[in-house]
Amino acid sequence: MENVILIVHLILALLLIGVVLLQRSEGGGLGMGGGGGGGVMSGRQAANALTKLTWIFAVCFIGTSIALTVIAAQNSAGGSVVDRLGGSAPVETAPVTPAAPDIELPPASTDAPLTPPPAN
């Protein structure tokens, strides 16, 4: 169920971005305002339709956001991260000793005998 809501949420996000980008800017700062030419819908009717679509997509987007939050809260461990950090004392663990290697390594320089070898 969470995956379905997440997919719907992502589709709504893309639709919301598309509808916002299709709207004509109020200031016309980019100089790309539509012309006054004819068409099925006038400029004012198209603006009203895009505004309504923006509101519908925005409300649905917020609804899916809340639904995803509720689902995530139900799936959580029952406590917050702050509760887990401040609620208990740190647990001491025993030091881990490395496992003995399977192969025999040559002696290190510190393993050398303290007396020099006899001279020949």
Q: Does residue 27 have a pLDDT over 70?
A: no
Judged against a pLDDT cut of 60, whether residue 20 lies above it is answered with yes
Write out the two tokens for 58: 């925005």
Mean pLDDT of 62-84: 84
Contact (Cβ atoms closer than 8 angstroms) between residue 4 and residue 68: no
pTM given for the model: 0.52
Nearest by Cα to 21 from 30, 41, 39? 30
Indicate if the pLDDT at residue 4 is higher than 90: yes
- Is the pLDDT at 36 greater than 60? The verdict is no
* Three state DSSP letters for 15-46: HHHHHHHHCCCCCCCCCCCCCCCCCCCCHHHH
